[in-house]
């Protein structure tokens, strides 16, 4: 939907309330109160055939009595009547509608039919509709709040747009902002998204000159394509997007995927990879999202990702360190020059570790505190410094931190290091405290867990653009790969899977496919020992579990006997025409490189320890395809999880394999369900895919 079409809904200068009433059982009085509270000064038309007057204003009997061109009609009548009212709005020339009424898709099959009817009526009139089942919104900039619940006590306009699938999350964000004096552009819940969807609102925010960053709570991917367009528009506009997306119901297809990689995807792994591929920064919960929004309002760039902290107690240092570890932050050891400067600034008994305990004396001896912060800002490994200097708690309190904050502002300009005051727990802000924070010119974030999550979001922002998925021309071997998949459905035998990997640049060990044990013995002599013997049968993708694999064979006789055994084993398991793969054995570290193709989110790839460890623990997926630079960055990020040492393992070869599997999955996404090398044997030089598993998607 064109963002211009949404503008009358978001910033109306004239509003009709359909179902206007002063009854406490209605949403209408709350909406009227919110409009007054925010300072709405536009035209207002109550509509209800039961009354002559509502809120001291003449009450119209019908929508059709409205003057043409009213910007927004807010509908607060029962669901069945609401659809007819939307139709009347279209006939009356109303430019936009918000349906507060519930009883639609959230209420079962009958409600879903009613919502479909509402969408059809809206389409007939080309009418933008927000909702149904929506609480409304608060537009802080244009001062409009058709909002059916408690409005923010002290609304402050700003650049943060809160666009949520949960009205309660939006309400929580606006209450926290009001309590802290943080400026918002808009808070809005999209309700059931019958017409205006989350993606449409993202596109609106991308075009909106007042929106500087977007926060969102996302639970149901109703329109993946629309959300993708909106996220692309925000990325193009250079506006960061923070999303809290709980890992509840699976948004990926629930069909069984044979490969290990499918089991690793979990409920929301593919969705999250897709979101990150769109440049999204994922956060844990709404509180962390709020603190991250506060932080990103002030800081967008870091000179390096290293974090240091200078706090006024040992307990605060311990808690901050633990929270930083949970958030995946890097707290570097201080350079020797930094330690020398700290020894000059701090008492001899003060620790010189990171986080740095400046002791409670720092609030009295502010020169000492300033000296410590100067030392941290000069450390080349530090890009962010957290410290604790709080706003006044009493109206007449003298603020000890003023000289510290003044020097911090100077250090930010001089060194490029980002600073933020971090409180151990949430603090309420008085009117004086809000004014103090606004004048301070630095972010004040609260709660060590939420604050370190916010710092993590700032770190992730540095990589968001580099992580975004770009269009890529198909690989030259795509047509050959598609021929392998032609007519296939379900698991392929290892030989076909291996051919797909080879076409996309992954190396295989020396190997031969044969039909009989005698041929296996001859093949082993030709290849050279030691060898592995494997049964080839598409019906048996996990052949090792059924006795279909023999390893470490050193003689032709061993190979012949092993071939007979594996053929018998898979035949008992149901294989119709098994063959034998004789493969030269290679040694090295075993890594799983796998990709899954989801019908909604496309292809995503992962790496992790291979072999028997393949399905242990959590996997981190990234959206495909990947450029060589992105593949390299992903491998470096995951190397510790995979127990890899750059001195002992060829990480470049692993990155090439990751890029190859990712590109294959993306190129073949219409015909491929999964593809993996498990294990990929990684050596000091090179990598070899010793096992291959592919699953074809049914044609069409």
pLDDT tens-digit series, residues 101-125: 999 999 999 999 999 999 999 999 9
pLDDT at residue 361, as a whole number: 87
Higher pLDDT, 549 or 256: 549
Instruction: Say if CB 218 and CB 243 are below 8 A apart.
Output: yes
* Contact present, 591 and 680 (Cβ < 8 Å): yes
The predicted-structure confidence for 513-535, as pLDDT tens digits, reads as follows 999 999 999 999 999 999 999 99
**Cβ count within 10 A of residue 313:** 15
Fold for 288-467, please state it: Rossmann fold (3.40.50)
Residues recorded for the chain: 700
For the cut 60, the answer to whether the pLDDT of residue 261 exceeds it is no
- Parallel, antiparallel, or unpaired: how do β-strands 672-682 and 622-623 relate? unpaired
Is pLDDT of 648 > 50? Answer: yes
State which fold the 3-239 domain adopts: Rossmann fold (3.40.50)
pLDDT at 267: 60
Tell me what pLDDT residue 264 has. Answer: 53
Read off the pLDDT of residues 303-318 as tens digits, 9 standing for 90 and up.
Answer: 999 999 999 999 999 9
CA 375 vs. chain centroid, Å, equals 35
Q: Is the pLDDT of residue 376 over 50?
A: yes
* Residue 466: closest CA among 623, 603, 303: 623
Average pLDDT over residues 195-216: 98
Give me the pLDDT at residue 700, please. Answer: 66
| pLDDT for res 259 | 46
386/175 Cα distance (integer angstroms)? 25
Q: Share the mean pLDDT of the chain.
A: 93
pLDDT given for residue 662 in this prediction: 97
Edge-to-edge strand order for the sheet containing 137-139? 137-139, 184-189, 157-164, 213-217, 241-244, 281-283
Question: Does pLDDT of 579 surpass 90?
Answer: yes
For residue 617, the model assigns a pLDDT of 59
- What is this structure's pTM? 0.91
Residue 362 burial class via C-beta count within 10 angstroms: exposed 0-12, middle 13-18, buried 19 and up? buried
> How many contiguous H segments (helices) and E segments (strands) does the chain have?
22, 29
DSSP-assigned letter for residue 612 = G
Amino acid 661: pLDDT = 98
pLDDT above 90 coverage of the chain, percent? 85
Report the chain's terminal Cα–Cα distance, integer Å: 29
Which pLDDT score is estimated for 249? 43
Q: What is the pLDDT of residue 36?
A: 96
Is a pLDDT exceeding 80 seen at residue 252? no
Instruction: Check for a shared fold between 3-239 and 288-467.
Output: yes
Q: Are 282 and 245 in contact (CB under 8 A)?
A: yes
Burial 95-105 (b: 16+ CB within 10 A, else e): bbbbbbbbbbb
The full set of domain ranges for the chain reads 3-239, 288-467
> Of 538, 542, 548, which Cα lies nearest the Cα of 485?
538
Does 251 have pLDDT greater than 70? no
- The pLDDT assigned to 544 comes to 85
CA atoms within 13 A on the CB side of 341: 17
Residue 100 has pLDDT above 80, yes or no: yes
């Amino acid at each position: 939907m064109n963002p211009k079409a949404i503008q009358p809904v978001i910033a109306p200068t004239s509003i009709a309330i359909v179902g206007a009433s002063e009854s406490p059982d209605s949403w209408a009085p709350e909406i009227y109160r919110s409009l007054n509270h925010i300072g709405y000064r536009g035209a207002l038309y109550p509509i209800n055939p039961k009354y002559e007057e509502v809120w001291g204003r003449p009450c119209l009997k019908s929508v059709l009595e409205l003057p043409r061109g009213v910007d927004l009609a807010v509908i607060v009548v029962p669901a069945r009547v609401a659809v007819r009212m939307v139709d009347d709005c279209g006939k009356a020339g109303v430019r936009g509608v918000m349906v507060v009424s519930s009883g639609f898709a959230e209420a079962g099959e009958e409600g879903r039919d009613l919502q479909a009817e509402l969408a059809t009526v809206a389409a007939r009139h080309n009418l933008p509709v927000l909702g149904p089942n929506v609480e409304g919104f608060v537009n802080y900039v244009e001062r409009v709040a058709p909002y059916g619940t408690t409005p923010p006590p002290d609304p402050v306009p700003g650049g943060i747009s809160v666009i949520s699938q949960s009205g309660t999350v939006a309400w929580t964000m606006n209450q926290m902002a009001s309590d802290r004096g943080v400026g918002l552009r808009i808070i809005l819940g999209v309700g059931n998204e019958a017409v205006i969807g989350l993606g449409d609102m993202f596109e609106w925010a991308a075009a909106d000159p007042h929106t500087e960053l977007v926060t969102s709570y996302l639970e149901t991917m109703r329109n993946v394509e629309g959300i993708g367009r909106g996220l692309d528009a925000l990325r193009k506009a250079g506006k960061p997007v923070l999303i809290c997306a709980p890992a509840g119901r699976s948004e990926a297809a629930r069909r069984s995927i044979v490969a290990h990689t499918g089991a690793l995807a979990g409920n929301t792994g593919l969705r999250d990879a897709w979101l990150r591929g769109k440049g999204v920064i994922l956060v844990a919960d709404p509180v962390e999202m709020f603190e991250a929004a506060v932080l990103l309002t002030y800081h967008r760039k870091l000179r390096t990702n290293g974090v240091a902290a200078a706090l006024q107690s040992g307990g605060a240092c311990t808690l901050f360190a633990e929270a930083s570890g949970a958030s995946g932050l890097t707290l570097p050891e201080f350079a020797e020059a930094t330690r020398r400067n700290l020894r000059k600034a701090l008492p001899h008994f003060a620790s010189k570790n990171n986080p740095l305990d400046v002791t409670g004396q720092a609030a009295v001896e502010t020169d000492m505190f300033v000296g410590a912060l100067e030392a941290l800002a000069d450390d080349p490994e530090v890009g962010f410094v957290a410290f604790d200097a709080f706003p006044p708690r009493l109206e007449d309190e003298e603020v000890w931190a003023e000289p510290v904050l003044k020097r911090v502002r100077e250090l930010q300009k001089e060194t490029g290091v980002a600073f933020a005051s971090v409180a151990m727990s949430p603090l309420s802000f008085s009117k004086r405290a809000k004014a103090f924070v606004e004048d301070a010119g630095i972010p004040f974030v609260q709660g060590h867990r939420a604050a370190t999550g916010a710092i993590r979001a700032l770190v992730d922002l540095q990589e968001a653009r580099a992580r975004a998925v770009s269009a890529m021309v198909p690989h030259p071997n795509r047509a050959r790969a598609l021929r392998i998949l032609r007519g296939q459905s379900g698991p392929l035998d290892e030989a076909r899977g291996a051919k797909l990997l080879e076409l996309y640049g992954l190396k295989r060990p020396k190997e031969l496919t044969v039909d009989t044990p005698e041929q296996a013995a001859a093949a082993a002599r030709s290849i050279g020992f030691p060898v592995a013997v494997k049964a080839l049968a598409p019906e048996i993708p996990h052949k090792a579990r059924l006795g279909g694999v023999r390893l470490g064979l050193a003689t032709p006789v061993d190979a012949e006997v092993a071939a007979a055994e594996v053929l018998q084993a898979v035949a008992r398991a149901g294989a119709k025409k098994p063959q034998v793969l004789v493969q030269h054995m290679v040694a090295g570290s075993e890594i799983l490189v796998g990709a899954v193709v989801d019908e909604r989110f496309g292809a995503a790839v992962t790496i992790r320890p291979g072999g028997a460890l393949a399905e242990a623990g959590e996997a981190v997926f990234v959206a495909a395809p990947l450029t060589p630079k992105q593949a390299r960055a992903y491998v470096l990020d995951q190397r510790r999880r995979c127990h890899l040492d750059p001195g002992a393992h060829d990480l470049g070869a692993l990155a090439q394999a990751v890029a190859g599997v990712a590109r294959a999955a993306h190129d073949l996404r219409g015909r491929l369900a999964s593809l993996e090398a498990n294990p990929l044997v990684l050596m000091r030089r090179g990598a070899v895919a010793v096992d291959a598993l592919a699953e074809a998607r049914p044609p069409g």
